[in-house]
């Protein structure tokens, strides 16, 4: 589904990603871990299409498309979803109106008809229940006045509504208490299928108790320096990132 | 006062002098000659005049215009200016003249909609008592010019306890290049009467034309008037319009000013709230593009206690356009328990767009709730990216955010079809 080859990216001439190689297949869950400043969020931003980052080398193939060549909206329409670490508040734009526009633009992109109002409302009801999001919040302005936990649940709610092929969860666990974490994880796990894939970007092992990865990658200094199974996350938790750093002093 | 400025005024007055009003009744002739006298003492304001500080009139006054005679008014099709899905009474002013051919009025008892020129000729009409009563020629050169030379307009009277069933849509259109049109609207809503009016200012090949309009509104006890002003003169065009309002007890007046286009647009709103229990709403959306210059000056004068006024002006300025907002609220010593709120918010879409915003409160009473505020900013890039990341195109994202921004300024438009019409206009503007 996703093939990242030798990806280099920089911001304001500072190189952050220094040759990332990663392949994600349908049905898989990958976790990307790493210390602060290792490039985790840059990777998600580059995949989502933030303009401030310049890709200097390498390629990203998404189901046969050159992902880097697509606008952010076309990436989303092709099935890439980024759950933001810090969801943006948009006063005046209602969650529901925004999601309806998003769904219909995606449908139009694929040559499908707009969703019927009734079907849309049924979908809102079903998916908001999944993440235990108060249906009232669905009609409020996007993220405005939401608590930290509500914002993150709203991200997963949007993900559920848009049914992406590839979901990238950027530090979705940050700022969540254990109950909210459980709800978010339940949502992600329910949405998991053999046809889609998930990349979980996280600092801590904690989230991976709930969303169990098939692969764990350790990102350090803009490169993946170690890959293993879910036990790698536990090892990291135990030994800390210094262990990785000392193994990679030459980097 | 310079000789050059005098010449400009003289040229303009000269171009209007061929209009003949000698068959009008005495009251009208007196009104016009008083205005002419006032005009002798008035001059075009310069940027040194505080009230005109941010608006230079060179574009308007350095040109020569001609006036049209009634018998030369062309036959035109105005269907493109009507509001879809709105059942309204339609009155058309073409190049300053009331068109009998294009009139579409459903007669209703207690509702009078007439050509102002015809109404002046009838001694029993309310016009002789009200015309020029609050729009004083000696106060403003453009009111004086209008009073001296208005060719026609609309007189609307709603009798006691009558609710005008259909909105009245006045289409004020200019079809000739370099034409000056002075039009006038006079509205009286008697006790418990109500009426909704739309006035569109549009162009049909009238490039470089100048519309100088004056409207007077008289609201009696418990009357309700909603006036929606739609300014959409495309291409090079100039407009100065003055609305003068007088509110009696428990009356509700709402004015919504929607400015979609115009090279130079100046709106002067003056509202005297002269009795208790009144409600006043002044809302506006102004969209500037290219080198448009859109200036809104508003005055709400609270003279008596227990009244509310609300003002929400929202501007979106693109390209090199310039916006001006000066909103003034007076709360006089008598006007205790006044609630007056005023806000002006602007979005600048480019680095070259400019807004001059000056909200003002002058309070002489001590038991009031008043606030004012002004903000200017840009569209939030982070929010646009967030919407894009959900599959929404950049243009739709901008559109969603703009609709959200202007939404509360549209709330006082109670004609649903008009609201939809404006929404569509704005949407096509930002998705093209």
The answer to whether B384 faces chain A, any CB pair under 8 Å, is no
Closest Cα partner for B238 from B58, B403, B106, B66? B58
Using one digit for the tens of pLDDT, what is the confidence trace for B320-372? 999 999 999 999 999 999 999 999 999 999 999 999 999 999 999 999 999 99
Distance from CA of A72 to the nearest CA of B (A): 6
- Count the helix, strand and coil residues of chain A and give each as a percent rounded to the nearest 5: 40, 30, 30
Q: ipTM for the complex?
A: 0.95
DSSP A69: G
Total CB pairs under 8 A between chain A and B: 76
Asked whether A174 and A204 are in contact (CB, 8 A), the reply is: no
Tokens of B268: 């002067």
The answer to whether A88 faces chain B, any CB pair under 8 Å, is yes
Q: Which of A90, A97, A106 sits opposite B386 (nearest CB)?
A: A90
Contact B404 A158 (CB under 8 A): no
Q: Which residues of A touch B390 (CB under 8 A)?
A: 76, 98-99, 102, 158, 162
Q: How confident is the model at residue A138 (pLDDT cuts 50, 70, 90)?
A: confident
Average of per-residue pLDDT values in chain A: 91
Q: Which of B382, B383, B392 sits opposite A105 (nearest CB)?
A: B392
The answer to whether B382 faces chain A, any CB pair under 8 Å, is yes
Which pLDDT belongs to residue A139?
Answer: 79
Contact A101 B396 (CB under 8 A): yes
Domain A2-247 fold is Rossmann fold (3.40.50)
Tokens of A63: 């189901």
Q: Which residues of B touch A101 (CB under 8 A)?
A: 392, 396, 400
User: For the residues B117-131, what does the mean pLDDT come to?
Assistant: 90
Using one digit for the tens of pLDDT, what is the confidence trace for B298-327? 999 999 999 999 999 999 999 999 999 999
Strands (E), B99-159: 111-115, 152-158
Give the C-alpha separation, A169 to B308, whole Å: 50
Contact B389 A48 (CB under 8 A): yes
Asked whether B255 and B327 are in contact (CB, 8 A), the reply is: no
User: CB neighbours (10 Å) of residue B85?
Assistant: 10
Checking DSSP bridges between strand B168-174 and strand B89-94, what pairing results, if any? parallel
Which pLDDT belongs to residue A251?
Answer: 45
Q: What residues form DSSP beta bridges with B308?
A: B279, B339
All structural domains of chain A with their residue ranges: 2-247
Q: Which residue has the tokens 């005024």?
A: B9
Checking DSSP bridges between strand B180-189 and strand B97-98, what pairing results, if any? unpaired
Asked whether B309 and B339 are in contact (CB, 8 A), the reply is: yes
Listed as own residue / partner, the contacts of A173-180 with beta carbons closer than 8 Å and 24 or more positions apart are A173/A202, A173/A203, A173/A204, A173/A206, A173/A207, A174/A85, A174/A203, A175/A148, A175/A149, A176/A148, A176/A149, A176/A152, A177/A149, A180/A149, A180/A152, A180/A153
Q: Which of B314, B347, B384, B389 to mutate to test the interface with A (most CBs of A within 10 A)?
A: B389
Q: Which residues of A touch B394 (CB under 8 A)?
A: 71, 73
| Residue B7 pLDDT greater than 80, yes or no | no
User: For the residues A153-170, what does the mean pLDDT come to?
Assistant: 95
Q: What residues form DSSP beta bridges with B206?
A: none
Contact B407 A102 (CB under 8 A): no
| Residue A154 pLDDT greater than 50, yes or no | yes
Asked whether B130 and B188 are in contact (CB, 8 A), the reply is: yes
Q: Sheet holding B252-261: strands in order across?
A: B97-98, B89-94, B168-174, B194-203, B224-232, B252-261, B279-288, B308-317, B339-348, B369-377
All structural domains of chain B with their residue ranges: 3-275, 382-432
- Radius of gyration in angstroms for the set of CA atoms belonging to chain B, rounded to a whole number: 21
Task: DSSP for B188-228, please give it.
Answer: EE-TT-EEEEEEEEEESS-TTEEEEEEEEEEE-TT-EEEEE
Which pLDDT belongs to residue B297?
Answer: 98
Q: Which residues of A touch B403 (CB under 8 A)?
A: 92-93
CA-nearest residue to A97 within chain B is: B400
The answer to whether B405 faces chain A, any CB pair under 8 Å, is yes
Give the C-alpha separation, A99 to A162, whole Å: 8
Distance from CA of A2 to the nearest CA of B (A): 17
Phi, psi torsion values for B353, nearest 5 degrees: -70, 150
Distance from CA of A109 to the nearest CA of B (A): 9
Using one digit for the tens of pLDDT, what is the confidence trace for A178-219? 888 898 899 899 999 999 999 999 988 888 999 999 999 999
Using one digit for the tens of pLDDT, what is the confidence trace for B203-257? 998 889 999 999 999 999 999 999 999 999 988 999 999 999 999 999 999 999 9
User: What is each CA distance from B97 to B9, B114, B183, B410, in whole angstroms?
Assistant: 23, 12, 8, 30
Q: Which of A48, A70, A75, A102 to mutate to test the interface with B (most CBs of B within 10 A)?
A: A102
Q: Which residues of A touch B396 (CB under 8 A)?
A: 101, 105
Residue B123: burial class (beta carbons within 10 Å; 0-12, 13-18, 19+): exposed
Q: Which residues of A touch B384 (CB under 8 A)?
A: none
DSSP A61: E
């Amino acid at each position: 589904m996703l093939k990242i080859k030798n990806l280099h990216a920089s911001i304001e001439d500072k190189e952050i990603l220094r040759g990332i190689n990663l392949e994600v297949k349908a049905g898989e869950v990958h976790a990307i871990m790493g210390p602060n400043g290792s490039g985790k969020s840059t990777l998600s931003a580059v995949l989502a299409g933030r303009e401030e980052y310049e890709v200097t080398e390498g390629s990203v193939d998404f189901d046969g498309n050159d992902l880097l060549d697509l606008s952010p909206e076309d990436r989303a329409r092709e099935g890439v979803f980024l759950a933001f670490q810090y969801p943006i508040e948009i006063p005046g734009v209602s969650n529901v109106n925004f999601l309806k526009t998003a769904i219909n633009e995606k449908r139009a992109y694929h040559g499908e008809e707009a969703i019927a109002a009734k079907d849309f409302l049924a979908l809102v009801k079903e998916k908001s229940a999944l993440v235990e999001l108060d249906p009232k919040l669905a009609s409020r302005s996007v993220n405005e006045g939401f608590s930290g936990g509500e914002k993150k649940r709203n991200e997963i709610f949007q993900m559920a509504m848009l049914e992406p092929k590839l979901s990238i969860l950027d530090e979705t666990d940050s700022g969540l208490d254990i109950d909210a974490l459980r709800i978010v994880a339940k949502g992600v796990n329910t949405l998991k299928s053999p046809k889609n894939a998930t990349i979980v970007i996280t600092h801590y092992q904690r989230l991976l108790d709930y969303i169990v990865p098939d692969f764990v990658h350790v990102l350090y200094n803009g490169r993946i320096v170690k890959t293993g199974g879910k036990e790698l996350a536990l090892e990291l938790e135990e030994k800390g990132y210094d262990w990785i750093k000392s193994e990679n002093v030459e980097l | 006062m310079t000789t050059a400025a005098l010449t400009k005024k003289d040229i303009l007055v000269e171009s209007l002098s061929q209009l003949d009003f000698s068959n009008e009744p005495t009251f009208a002739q007196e009104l016009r000659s008083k205005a002419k006298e006032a005009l002798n003492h008035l001059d075009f304001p310069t940027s040194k005049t505080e009230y005109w500080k941010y608006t230079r009139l060179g574009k308007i006054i350095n040109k020569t215009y001609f006036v049209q005679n009634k018998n030369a008014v062309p036959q035109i099709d105005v269907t493109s200016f009507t509001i879809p899905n709105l059942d309204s009474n339609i009155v058309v002013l073409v190049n300053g003249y009331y068109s009998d051919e294009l009139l579409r009025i459903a007669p209703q008892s207690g509702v009078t909609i007439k050509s102002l020129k015809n109404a002046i000729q009838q001694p029993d009409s309310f016009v002789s008592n009200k015309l020029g009563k609050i729009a004083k020629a000696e106060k403003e050169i453009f009111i004086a010019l209008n009073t001296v030379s208005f060719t026609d307009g609309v007189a609307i009277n709603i009798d006691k306890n009558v609710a005008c069933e259909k909105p009245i849509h006045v289409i004020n259109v200019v079809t000739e290049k370099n034409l000056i049109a002075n039009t006038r609207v006079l509205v009286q809503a008697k006790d418990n009467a109500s009426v909704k009016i739309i006035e569109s200012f549009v162009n049909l090949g009238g490039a470089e034309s100048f519309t100088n309009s004056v409207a007077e509104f008289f609201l009696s006890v418990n009357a309700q008037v909603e006036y929606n002003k739609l300014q959409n003169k495309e291409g090079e065009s100039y407009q100065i319009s003055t609305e003068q309002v007088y509110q009696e007890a428990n009356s509700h007046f709402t004015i919504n000013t929607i400015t979609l286009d115009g090279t130079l647009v100046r709106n002067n709103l003056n509202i005297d709230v002269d009795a208790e229990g009144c409600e006043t709403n002044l809302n506006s959306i102004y969209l500037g593009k290219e080198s448009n210059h859109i200036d809104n000056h508003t005055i709400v004068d609270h003279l008596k206690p227990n009244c509310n006024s609300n003002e929400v002006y929202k501007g979106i300025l693109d390209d090199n356009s310039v916006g001006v907002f000066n909103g003034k609220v007076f709360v006089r010593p008598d006007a205790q328990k006044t609630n007056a709120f005023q806000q002006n918010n602007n979005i600048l879409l480019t680095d070259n767009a400019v807004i001059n915003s000056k909200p003002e409160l002058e309070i002489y009473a001590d038991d009031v709730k008043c606030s004012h505020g002004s903000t200017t900013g840009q569209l939030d890039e982070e929010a646009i990216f967030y919407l894009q990341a959900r599959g929404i195109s950049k243009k739709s994202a901008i559109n969603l955010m703009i609709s959200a921004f202007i939404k509360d300024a549209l709330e006082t438009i109670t004609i649903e079809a008009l609201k939809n019409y404006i929404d569509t206009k704005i949407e096509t503007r930002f998705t093209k």
